[in-house]
């Protein structure tokens, strides 16, 4: 049985909080419903293989009180989160959200309301916490004893929209969900947190960037508040046909979900709203310390931004984008250009001593929530794995500004294509 705001009775213990926003954006080309269903089943199989017997299954909490604030999932059901308390001497808190897609049109958005990505009625009642969310010291040495909270994703807009579509009868209330859940957590103990880390994967990595300064403003000045964006450095890149597939897709999302008012003013005061949905145009203006963890050859961006089916009409990239070994010299050169664009995008960002970087030359996407890539034989830069790099940066043990040499130099990668 799902917990109904039971955390309101059982207060957040200790003063450490890990908040995670884990989302994955949808295919820029707009696949079929059948393809979406197949992808969903494939994702379940991958998660099952990666899950270990020792993983703790954590129950859901339905936040019914948020409905009165208009903070609802796409189908009008209440938002939800999953929480596990800190232990021992833990004094921090973390927050992840599920890594799932955004939707940009009537067909894809309607489809999502029949799934956990658009309705809390369809969410799993228990999920495993692994990687940066793990409670095992061996797997997660720096954050295992923290309070860990994962916001469940059901708004399809990186927690940034605030609209109701009368024709579709769909709610896009991500910004309200963010506000309602954060206020609830503040009321039950987060207001006294001494250490907070907001993190997210994929579109959740984008959400962590968008909300980083907002969270900092709500917490005590004496608290250490930082943000980690994993696989969220989406680039406004040219695709293989010379167009900008992801820009077109993001433009639809920003318009459909009325995202513009919730974007950072440090960006919208000189750029259009769609440009300000791209992290490369936001990160230099964020005041709160941020760590960017990203694969230079981000497989989601290769498949859905650089070479989506709509741009690759001849099918030239059909094999390469799913198997790096099948790429010819011209295709590898194109991918090296994408890596160069990513490195250039973080140049000013990296000049801040408070920020951190771990950009490895792997064909991967999201590396913090899986034990294998977080700390179990993790990819390494400068002889330091991901968990150690993030921990050193967060606790100020070392400055971390690591950018890998170009592919194929890195032999520590967990490549997924």
Question: Which string of b and e fits 268-301 if b means at least 16 CB within 10 Å?
Answer: beeeebbbbbbbbbbbbebebbbbbbbbbbbbbb
Tell me how crowded residue 61 is: count the other CB atoms within 10 A of its CB: 23
Of residues 119, 135, 158, 202, which has the active-site annotation?
Answer: 202
134 is catalytic: no
202 is catalytic: yes
Indicate the burial class of 130 (C-beta count within 10 angstroms; 0-12, 13-18, 19 or more): buried
Length of the chain in residues, anyone?
417
* Structure-token match 């419903």, residue found: 33
Of residues 230, 298, 312, 404, which has the active-site annotation?
Answer: 298
C-alpha torsion 324→24→288→413, nearest 10: -30
298 is catalytic: yes
Return d(Cα 34, Cα 40) in angstroms, integer: 10
Radius of gyration of the chain (CA): 20
C-alpha torsion 371→375→377→378, nearest 10: 100
> In 3D, which of 195, 187, 182, 7 has the Cα closest to residue 91?
195
Of residues 15, 239, 365, 404, which has the active-site annotation?
Answer: 365
Contact 122, 47 (CB under 8 A): no
Contact 306, 243 (CB under 8 A): no
Catalytic residue annotation: 202, 298, 365
């Amino acid at each position: 049985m799902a917990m109904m705001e039971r955390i309101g009775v059982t207060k957040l213990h200790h003063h450490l909080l890990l908040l995670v926003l884990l989302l994955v954006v949808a295919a820029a080309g707009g696949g079929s419903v059948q393809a979406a269903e197949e992808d969903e089943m494939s994702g379940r199989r991958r998660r099952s293989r990666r899950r270990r017997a020792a993983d703790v299954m954590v129950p859901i909490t339905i936040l019914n009180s948020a409905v009165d604030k208009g903070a609802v999932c796409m189908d009008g059901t209440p938002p939800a989160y999953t929480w596990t308390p800190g232990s021992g001497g833990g004094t921090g808190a973390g927050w992840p959200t599920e890594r799932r897609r955004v939707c940009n049109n009537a067909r894809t958005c309607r489809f999502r309301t029949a799934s956990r990505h658009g309705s809390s009625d369809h969410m799993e009642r228990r999920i495993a916490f692994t990687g940066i969310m793990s409670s095992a010291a061996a797997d997660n040495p720096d954050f295992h004893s923290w309070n860990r909270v994962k916001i469940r994703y059901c708004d399809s807009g990186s927690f940034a929209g605030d609209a109701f579509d009368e024709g579709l009868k769909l709610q896009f209330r991500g910004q309200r969900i963010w506000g309602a859940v954060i206020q609830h957590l503040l009321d039950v103990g987060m207001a006294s947190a001494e250490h907070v880390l907001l993190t997210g994967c994929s579109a959740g990595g984008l959400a962590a960037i968008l909300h980083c300064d907002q969270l900092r403003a709500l917490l005590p000045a004496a608290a250490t508040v930082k943000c980690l964006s994993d696989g969220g450095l989406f680039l406004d890149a040219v695709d293989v046909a010379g167009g900008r597939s992801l820009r077109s897709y993001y433009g639809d999302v920003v318009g459909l979900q009325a995202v513009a008012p919730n974007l950072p003013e440090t960006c919208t005061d000189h750029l259009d709203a769609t440009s300000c949905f791209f992290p490369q145009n936001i990160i230099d203006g964020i005041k709160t310390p941020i760590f960017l963890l990203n694969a230079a050859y981000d497989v989601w961006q290769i498949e859905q931004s650089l070479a989506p089916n709509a741009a690759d009409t001849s099918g030239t990239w059909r094999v390469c984008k799913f198997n790096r070994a099948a790429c010819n010299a011209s295709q590898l050169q194109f991918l090296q250009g994408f890596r160069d664009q990513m490195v250039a995008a973080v140049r000013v960002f990296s000049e801040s001593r408070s920020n951190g970087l771990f950009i490895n030359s792997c064909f991967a996407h999201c590396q913090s929530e899986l034990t294998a890539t977080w700390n179990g034989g993790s990819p390494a830069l400068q002889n330091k794995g991901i968990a150690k790099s993030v921990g050193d940066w967060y606790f100020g043990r070392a400055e971390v500004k690591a950018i890998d040499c170009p592919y194929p130099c890195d032999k520590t990668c967990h490549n997924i294509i």
